[in-house]
């Protein structure tokens, strides 16, 4: 099945390079989680600091910009049940990922790796939040980081 990805640009110029990274990374994520044969999709919005700050304030009551926000459409138990009966899944959205492109650029410079690597990381990170993973507890953070690294390594996206 073709990967269902909706890419939106909000106050950011569209770049084919971004589209390719988004599609390649999410395709690998879907494959890794064995949901690549389902009609589940993801919406990705690339935006600026002002827009993501407004979204962060509206949805999380945090009045500051951030690098990535994820809005899952399912609770983890609901998603696991849905995946288990994948032949009966109707087309649906797994969730929304919002990425701040200026923050991606800033962090890539801060961490000393490429913009593309940072964008790919934000996508993987956002995807795993949609899948119900978290990084509040240390053991959960380690599990999430391991999954993120598997995807990035498989795509040969290095630091």
Q: What is the pLDDT of residues 75-117, one digit of tens each?
A: 888 888 877 776 666 668 899 999 999 999 999 999 999 999 9
Query: In which residue are the tokens 């993801």 written?
Result: 42
3-state secondary structure of 24: helix
Q: From CA 44, how far away is CA 125, in angstroms rounded?
A: 13
At 79 the pLDDT is: 83
pLDDT under 70 in the chain at which residues? 1, 86-91
**Contact indicator for 39, 92 with CB cutoff of 8 Å:** yes
Residue 159 lies in a domain: no
Q: Distance between CA 119 and CA 113 in Å, rounded?
A: 11
How high is the pLDDT of residue 92? 82
In a domain, 79, yes or no: yes
Q: Which residue has the tokens 């380690």?
A: 142
Tell me, yes or no, whether 129 lies in a domain. Answer: yes
Q: Which pLDDT score, from 0 to 100, does residue 84 have?
A: 79
- pLDDT in the model for residue 90: 66
pLDDT for res 135: 80
How far apart are alpha carbons 67 and 69 in whole angstroms?
7
pTM of the predicted protein model = 0.92
Where in the sequence is the domain holding 71, given as residue range(s)?
A: 4-154
Residue 86 confidence (pLDDT): 64
Tokens of 109: 């410079």
* Helical axes 115-130 vs 101-111, angle rounded to 10°: 120
Domain containing residue 89: CATH number: 3.40.390.30
Number of domains into which the chain is organized: 1
Percent of the chain with pLDDT over 90: 72
């Amino acid at each position: 099945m073709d990967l269902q990805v909706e890419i939106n640009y909000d106050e950011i110029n569209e770049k084919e390079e971004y589209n390719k990274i988004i599609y390649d990374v999410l395709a690998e994520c879907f494959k890794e989680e064995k949901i690549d044969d389902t009609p589940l999709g993801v919406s990705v919005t690339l935006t600026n600091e002002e827009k993501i700050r407004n979204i962060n304030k509206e949805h999380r009551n945090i009045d500051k910009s951030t690098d990535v926000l994820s809005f899952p459409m399912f609770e983890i138990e609901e998603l696991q049940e849905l995946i288990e009966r994948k032949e009966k899944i109707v087309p649906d959205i797994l969730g929304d990922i919002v990425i701040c492109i200026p923050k991606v650029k800033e962090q890539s410079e801060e961490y000393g790796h490429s913009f593309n690597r940072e964008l790919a990381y934000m996508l993987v990170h956002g995807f795993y939040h949609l899948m119900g993973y978290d990084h509040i507890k240390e053991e959960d953070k380690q599990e999430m980081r391991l999954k993120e690294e598997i995807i990035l390594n498989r795509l040969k996206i290095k630091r």
